């Protein structure tokens, strides 16, 4: 597989980095490491297309650098959806590391039969999706459902990223089993990076229980601690003080969903995407 990558996938990764030499050189001058410069070049690459419009809210270079992502890491992305982060992480780790997609255990989620069947097809489909996004061979990538991770994969991951998904795990009452699967995949001392819509401190649990998309920071930290992780550090990289986090329709009121339609759309556009916590945890023995 690595030989194929060296001849095909690596060429794409090199092209992604070399396509923006000025950016990489500039950041290197500013004290950015070689790894960070390579990450910034991938983030800037034209392949990402319309995804770039959300960078001002999601800050991918800064977020992944804060998490300590390295090119030789084995990285698990939890519920990658349309691949917004996949298009960045996959080419970054493809040469020296490994990229793995992980999604819900199909039978645990409150979905209809058709949606559950799509989840069962995720392991076969996702590598081809990543290949289409990156131009790299599909067999460079792996994918699993949380209830069917092979034994040989457990204990191999350096890092798991959970972007904006903790609220669903808690409101659907599947958080314990899903985080257990992620914990099992991690090496001793492996890391979990969480980005999550943030409720204000002291928000009643009746609002911040996940059903509105928002969680309190202390709720997420306590949950992770109970499940065998320690908080390493947190960041305001993805903070948005304009977000009042108190909308009757929840976080989906804000862009890009605009759940209220045209009502007060200009106001929500001015607010932008949600205020988000950015937390890094370490797996405890």
Q: pLDDT digits over 107-141, tens only? A: 999 999 999 999 999 999 999 999 999 999 999 99
Q: Measure the CA–CA gap between 203 and 216, rounded to whole angstroms.
A: 7
Indicate the domain borders of the chain. 54-283
67 class by beta-carbon count within 10 Å (0-12 exposed, 13-18 middle, 19+ buried) = buried
Per-residue pLDDT band at 37 (split at 50, 70, 90): confident
259 φ/ψ angles, rounded to the nearest 5 degrees: -60, -20
Q: What is the pLDDT of residue 36?
A: 81
Per-residue pLDDT band at 94 (split at 50, 70, 90): very high
Mean predicted confidence (pLDDT) in 17-29: 33
Summarised one tens digit per residue, pLDDT across range 252-283 is 999 999 999 999 999 999 999 999 999 999 99
Which DSSP letter does residue 164 get? S
Mean pLDDT in the chain? 90
What is the CATH number that goes with domain 54-283?
Answer: 3.40.50.150
With residue 115 as reference, give the H or E element that holds it.
Answer: helix 113-120
Which DSSP letter does residue 49 get? G
Check if the beta carbon of residue 284 is closer than 8 Å to that of residue 187: no
Strands 186-197 and 229-235, by their bridges, are unpaired
Counting residues of the chain whose pLDDT is more than 90, the rounded percentage is: 86
Strands 74-78 and 157-163, by their bridges, are parallel
Mean predicted confidence (pLDDT) in 23-27: 32
- Tokens 């309190």 sit on residue: 216
Per-residue pLDDT band at 26 (split at 50, 70, 90): very low
């Amino acid at each position: 597989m690595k030989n194929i990558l060296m001849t095909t996938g690596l060429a794409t990764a090199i092209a992604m980095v070399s396509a923006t030499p000025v950016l990489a050189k500039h950041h290197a001058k500013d004290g950015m490491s070689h790894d960070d410069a390579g990450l910034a070049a991938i983030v800037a690459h034209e392949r990402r297309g319309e995804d770039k419009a959300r960078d001002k809210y999601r800050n991918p270079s800064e977020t992944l650098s804060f998490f300590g992502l390295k090119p030789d890491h084995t990285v698990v992305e939890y519920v990658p959806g349309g691949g917004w982060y996949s298009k960045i992480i996959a080419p970054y780790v493809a040469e020296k590391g490994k990229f793995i997609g992980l999604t819900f255990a199909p039978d645990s989620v409150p979905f209809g039969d058709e949606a559950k069947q799509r989840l069962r097809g995720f392991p076969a489909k996702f590598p081809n999706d990543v290949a289409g996004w990156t131009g790299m061979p599909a067999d460079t990538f792996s994918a699993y459902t949380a209830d069917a991770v092979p034994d040989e994969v457990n204990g191999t991951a350096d890092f798991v990223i959970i972007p904006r998904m903790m609220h669903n795990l808690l409101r659907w009452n599947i958080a314990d089993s899903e985080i257990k699967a992620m914990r099992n995949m991690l090496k001793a001392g492996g890391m979990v990076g969480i980005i999550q819509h943030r409720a204000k401190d002291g928000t009643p649990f009746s609002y911040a229980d996940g059903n509105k998309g928002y969680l309190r920071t202390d709720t997420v930290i306590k949950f992770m601690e109970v499940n065998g992780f320690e908080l390493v550090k947190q960041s305001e990289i993805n903070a948005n003080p304009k977000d009042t986090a108190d909308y009757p329709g929840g976080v989906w009121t804000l862009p890009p969903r605009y759940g209220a339609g045209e009502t007060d759309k200009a106001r929500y556009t001015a607010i932008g995407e949600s205020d988000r916590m950015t937390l890094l945890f370490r797996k405890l023995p």
